[in-house]
């Protein structure tokens, strides 16, 4: 297929672009001119520009069959601080993208939503795709809003779509300066010898999924022609922040110092996803244990 990875110079996007090329697809990537990992994508056709500028996007979309939309301009903390900008950049920008996809006759769009935020405070765990969606961050709201607009465009215009509600992804190339992704932030601080900062008492539970497993879910959903459109992508294993510190200590051979600070209001107490729908219909399941993923990520950081 002719595939376009929006955000292909970033964390998940760069892994996905290389995996698509390995699988024999013709791959284009689109990112900002200084996308962090564009230099790795020698087998891909690289387009650079502004996601909010339709003329830049139109060049990259021409002749594309499938779009993987991995561009996001905020994280949960920053989304709450400037909700207007969060919506303008992410939701309005995506609506312009959908208009271009229709005009360029794109067949399918795959969108990585946030399994960690769209459900809000869970009524029960593990959380499956039928659980109510009551996000408590602007980030989760904008992800869910995009999901709804994808459905609307499928109904009105026939643009096929698939949504992957991804748990807490981690792995090589993840940014640490935005403080999104406890695994990578904790590992980098451990490498520098700095104390790990934990919001709250460390009892918050998350579902950590290695980036290589996330990419495999993308590859499976690209080939999927069934009726289901939304899939959780997760390990299905809940790990508290305190337990994560224990795992990191084992991975690096020493225990890092920890500083506890007041909890954040937008952090749900527990988030563990049920990925059985993906297992049944995509033939996908997480294959990388947390200990192995931590070791790979730490080795990459050291190098």
What residues are labeled active site?
139
Closest CA to 190 of 288, 301, 290: 301
CA dihedral 77, 232, 90, 67 (to 10 degrees): 150
Residue 91 near residue 142 (C-beta atoms within 8 A):
yes
C-alpha span between 242 and 112 (Å, rounded): 28
CB neighbour list of residue 31: distance below 8 Å, 6 or more residues apart: 6, 7, 8, 9, 10, 13, 38, 46, 48, 71
Residue 167 near residue 118 (C-beta atoms within 8 A):
no
- Helical axes 241-252 vs 290-302, angle rounded to 10°: 60
């Amino acid at each position: 297929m002719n595939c376009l990875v929006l955000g292909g110079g970033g964390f998940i996007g760069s892994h996905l672009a290389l995996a698509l090329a390995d699988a024999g697809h013709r791959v284009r990537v689109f990112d900002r001119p200084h996308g962090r990992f564009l230099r790795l994508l020698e087998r891909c056709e690289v387009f650079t520009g502004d996601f909010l500028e339709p003329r830049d996007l139109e060049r990259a979309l021409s002749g594309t069959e499938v779009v993987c939309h991995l561009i996001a301009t905020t994280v949960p903390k920053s989304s709450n601080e400037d909700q207007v900008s969060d919506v303008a950049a992410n939701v309005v920008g995506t609506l312009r993208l959908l208009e271009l996809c229709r005009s360029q006759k794109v067949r399918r769009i795959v969108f990585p939503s946030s399994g960690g935020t769209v459900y809000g405070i869970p009524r029960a765990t593990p959380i499956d795709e039928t659980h109510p969606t009551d996000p408590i961050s602007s980030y989760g709201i904008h992800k869910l809003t995009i999901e709804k607009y994808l459905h609307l465009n499928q109904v009105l215009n026939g643009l096929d779509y698939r949504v992957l509600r991804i748990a807490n992804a981690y792995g090589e190339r993840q940014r640490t300066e935005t403080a999104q992704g406890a695994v990578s932030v904790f590992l980098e601080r451990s490498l520098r010898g700095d104390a790990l900062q934990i919001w709250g008492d460390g009892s918050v539970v998350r579902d950590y999924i290695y980036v290589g497993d996330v990419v495999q879910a993308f590859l499976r959903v690209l080939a999927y022609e069934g009726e289901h459109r939304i899939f959780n992508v997760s390990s299905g294993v809940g790990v508290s922040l305190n337990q994560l510190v224990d795992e990191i200590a084992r991975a690096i051979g020493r225990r890092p110092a920890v500083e506890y600070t007041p909890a954040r209001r937008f952090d749900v107490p527990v988030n563990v996803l049920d990925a059985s729908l993906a297992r049944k219909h995509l033939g996908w399941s997480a294959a990388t244990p947390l200990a192995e993923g931590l070791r790979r990520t730490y080795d990459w950081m050291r190098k």
